[in-house]
Structure 1
C-alpha cells in the first residue's frame, strides 16, 4: 500500500498520478509501458496518466501523488492508504477501431465509448482516434446516438418541479461562437427574465476565444454557482448567468473538447452533439441557436449554415427540444470591446440604454430575445421583438440583470481595464472595408485575455466607417509588458483591419 498525497498541480481535465522512481512497494517499470496506473482503495478507483519523479520532496518512495482533478475525483482524504494495479484497456476501444475502419456505430456502442471516456478510461491518444474517426465519417443517426450518450453520462437538471416555474417552458440560447464581442446572452437573459420566462443560462469559459460568457459575467458577479443556488435564482429572478463546469453537464463533452482544440477538429456533427447534449442536460425545453455567417467566422457561407441548421433541427426534434435557429451576420466583431472587461462595459451600456452603447450588439440581442419571447404562448407571433425592446427601454431588463448580479454575489476579484495601452493606426485615408474576426481575437488573446480580464481590444472603427491616415482603428489593452509586446508585434504584422481608399 502507498500513502495518498494531494499535489496542488492543476492538470485541467486530465487525471495525473506521480510515483517516485524508487517506489518501495511497486516496480515502476511495470507501469511505464502502459503510461497509466489505476489507483484503488475501499471500493473507489481512479485511472490516471503516470508521471515518474526523482525528487522525494514532490513524492516520497512510499507515496502516490495525485493532481488536483485526480485527487478530487478519487474522493479520498490525503494520507489514505491506496494500492496500484495496471489499468485494464477499455473493451469499448475495439468499437473505436471499428469506427476507424468505417463502421457506423449503434446507440449502445456509442454509449459504451462515452461512458469509458467519462470515467477517464481513455488516454488522449485514444480519444483523438475516436474524434478523428468521427470527423471522417458520421451518419445523422450516429450524431443523435452520440448526443444521447453524452447527455446520459452526466448530471441532468430538472426545473419543472420548482415553485414559480410554470408552463413547462425553460428557455435557453446558444451561439456557435467565432465572433468576438458577441456577448448577446448577457442582454438576452435579463430581457427574457424580465418578461417572466425562466432562462437558466449555463455558459462556458473561453477555450480559444478572448472571452466566454462566463468570463465576461465574472467581471460583474460570481459565476461559480452550485445547483441549489441556481434553483433559487431561477425561482426568484427567473434567470441566471453561471459557469456550467460546476454542475457536471455532459462531462464527456469537456473531455472531448480538450482534445479537439489542439487538433483543430471542429466538424458540424461534433458541434451539434456538443451543444445539444449540454442544453438538454441543463434542462432546456426551448432553445434558440445563433449561427453567425461571415468570411472569418466558423461558418463561411449561407449554404453551409443551412446544412448546419437542418442537422440541429433534426437532432433537436428527436431529443424533444423545441428548437429554432437564427442565421445572423458574422462579417465582423459585435460591439466595441473584445475581452471580458471591455465586453462587460458594452453589455451594461446597452442595458442602461446609454446612447454611446454599441448599436449592433443592442439590435442583435433584441432580435434574439424577441425570438425567444415568442416561445411563450402568450406572445403573438411577430411581436417578440417589440416586447423585448419595451423591456429594454423601460429599464426592466436592467433591473432584472441587477437582481441576478446581486443574487449571484460579487465577483472573486475586481477586474479593471489594462493600463498598458497602444493604438493601432490606419495606414491610409479611406473606409474600413473588413475586420478579421480570427485575427482580432488572436491579438486580444496575446494581450492576455481572458486570463487577464482587463486585456483586449477596444474597436474604434467598424466596417463602412471613414478613417484618415494615422487615426486609431483600435486600442490594445494589456496588464503585463510581455503580453503587451506580443500583441503589439502581432498587430504590426497584420492589424486585422482592411482600409479601402
Structure 2
C-alpha cells in the first residue's frame, strides 16, 4: 500500500472561493485504505504546516494521478509548499465548535465563549461551505439576540489583525463612513474620504467587495488604483495621505467576515446581526474611533421602512457603544439609485465628475456625499456643529478634494491601463409618455449584474432618467453596457421582462 506521505502535492487550478478543497484519485491507495468518500473532511500535513480540506474524489488522470494530492488554489496557498512536495493525508477531526453550531441551528442562544469558538474555527478554515451555510442561515434575520451580535463582533475582531493610529492623531478621532448597501451607484465613500482627509482627518477606509450588488467601493476604486494592499503597505499609505480606499481582505482585518461573505453572496443573505458584526468589526479592526453610518430606506432598499431602520439603528448603537465606537447614524432616502452609473467603470466616472466639479456630474451623488462628509467633519472637536457641510463643500469646490483623491490613487498604485466601458450596448425605452414614478433598485442591480458587473468592470447600467423626469414614449430610460454578447443577452432579456421603471401620467 502506498504510504500516506508518498502523495505528491499537485496544484489544481480551480478557484473554490474561500474553501480548501483536496482532490484524490479514486484509485489512490489512501482513498481505499481510509474509506474516504466525496465531501469527507481531511487533514493535510506538509513541511510542518496543516490545513483542513473538503475532499473531492476524481476519476480523471488529467486532474490528479493516483499517487498525487491535488489542492485547489485556496488550499495550495494556505498550505504554502511547492508542487511535488510530499504530503500526509488523514481524516480530519470535527471543528471543536461544532456542538455550539448545532445548538444554534436548534434555536438556542449562544454565549461569548460559543461564538468566539465558532469564529475561530471559521477563520482557521475548519468549516466546510455546507457548515458555513448552516451558520449563516441559523443566524439570519433577527435570530441573533443583541448580546450574541456583540459577541460575534468581538470574535470577528479578535481573529484578525488590528490597526492602531493613536500615535498618528495624538488622541484625535480616527473617522470612517459606511453604508449598509443595497442602493446601486451609491459611491459616496469615494467622495467622503478625499474630502475629510483633505480637511486633515485620518480616515482608513476599508471596504468589502460586492456581495449581492453590481459594485462595492473596493470594486469601483479598483478601476482607478490598486485596492489589495498588504497590512504594512496600507499602514504606510494612511500615514502618508491620511486615508485609503482599500479592500479589507488582504490586510487581514476581520478575516472571518470575508469567509462568511463567500457564503452569504450566493445565498443573497445579509441579515441584521451579521451585517452589524461585519461592518463594526472591520471598522474597529481598521482603528476607527468615530463612524458615520448610512442606512438608506426605500421600497426596494435593504431596509423598507422607518420602523425597520430604527430597529437596525438601535442594534448598531448598542454594539458600537459596548465596543467604545462613537457612532452617528443617518437614515437617508433609498427610493432609487444614487448617481447615474451602476457598475465599477460607470460609478468611477460619476465620482470623478463630482470631484472635478463638472457640470454634468450627478447632483444627487454630490449632495449626499457632502451631507455625509459634513457629518464626519463635525467629529473634529474644532468644528462647530452645523458647519461641516459648508467646510465639505468648500473643500470640494476648491479642488482640494480632487487633488487629495489623485494623491490617494498614486499612493495605492494608479492603474496604468484602467478598464474601459463595455462596447456592447442596449437601450431600454419608455413604453409610454409620462413621468418616471419609481425605479426598482433590486431590478436595476440585477440587470447590471447580468450584464457582467462587477466581475467585468466595464459592464453595467447607465441611467438616463431618474424619478420625476418627464419622458416621451420610446425615449431611452437607461443604457446597458456589456463586454460579451451572452452577458448583454441575459441583461436584455431581464430588462425586457421588467425594466425596473414605473412610468405614469404627468
The residue that corresponds to 1:419 in the other structure is 423
Given that 2:46 and 2:79 are in contact with CA atoms closer than 8 Å, whether structure 1 keeps it comes out as: no
Quote the residue 2:184 is aligned against. Answer: 180
Cα distance between partner residues in 2 of 1:31 and 1:24: 10
1:120 paired with 2:125, answer: yes
Task: State whether structure 2 residue 162 is matched by structure 1 residue 156.
Answer: yes
Deviation at residue 334 of structure 1 after TM alignment: 0.3
Name the counterpart of 1:147: 153
Distance 1:86 1:277 in 2: 33
Query: How far does residue 104 in structure 1 lie from its aligned partner after superposition?
Result: 1.6
CA shift in 2, pair 1:25/1:126, >3 Å: closer
Q: Name the CA distance, whole Å, in 2 between partners of 1:413 and 1:15.
A: 33
Measured in 1, the distance between the counterparts of 2:11 and 2:167 equals: 39
* Separation in structure 2 between the aligned mates of residue 444 and residue 129 of structure 1, nearest angstrom: 29
SS in structure 2 opposite 1:434?
strand
What does the per-residue CA deviation read over 1:172-202, in whole Å, with 9 as the maximum and x for residues that have no partner?
1111000000000000000011001011111
- Partner of 2:42: helix, strand, or coil? strand
Aligned with residue 363 of structure 2, among 326, 348, 359: 359
Change beyond 3 A, Cα 1:182–1:62? same
Structure 1 unmatched runs, 5+? none
CA contact (8 A) 2:14 2:73 kept: yes
Q: Counterpart of 1:133?
A: 138
Structural RMSD (CA) = 1.5
Q: Distance in 2 between matches of 1:115 and 1:227?
A: 20
The answer (yes or no) to whether the contact 1:146–1:273 under 8 Å persists in 2 is yes
What is the distance in 2 between the residues matched to 1:419 and 1:315?
46
Q: 1:241-282, CA deviations, whole angstroms, 9 ceiling, x for partnerless residues?
A: 111111122121122222223334332112111111111111
Bigger mean CA offset, 210-219 vs 247-256: 247-256
Three-state SS of the structure 1 residue aligned to 2:503 is strand
Q: Which range moves more in the overlay, 330-339 or 103-112? A: 103-112
Are 2:7 and 1:19 aligned? no
Q: For residue 108 of structure 1, what is the aligned residue in structure 2?
A: 113
Pairing 1:92–2:65 present:
no
**More moved, 261-270 vs 118-127:** 261-270
Contact 2:234 2:251 in 1 (8 A): no
Task: Pick from 455, 458, 475 the counterpart of residue 462 of structure 2.
Answer: 458
Shift of 1:29: 5.7
433-442 or 402-411: which moved more?
Answer: 402-411
Deviations along 1:351-378, one digit per CA (max 9) or x if unpaired, are 0111110000000000000010111111
**TM-aligned CA deviation for residue 25 of structure 1:** 4.5
Following the alignment from structure 1 to structure 2, what is the Cα–Cα distance between the partners of residues 386 and 51? 60
- Answer whether contact 2:353 2:360 (CA < 8 A) is retained: yes
Task: Report the Cα distance in structure 2 between the residues aligned to 1:166 and 1:218, rounded to whole angstroms.
Answer: 31
Aligned residue for 1:474? 478
The correspondence of residues 260-279 of structure 1 with structure 2, limited to 5 A, is: 260-279=264-283
What TM-score do the two structures reach when normalised by structure 1? 0.97
- Report the CA distance shift for 1:34/1:179 in structure 2 as closer, same or farther (over 3 A): closer
Q: 2:301 aligns with which of 294, 297, 308?
A: 297
Q: In 2 relative to 1, CA 161–73 (structure 1 residues): closer, same or farther, beyond 3 Å?
A: farther
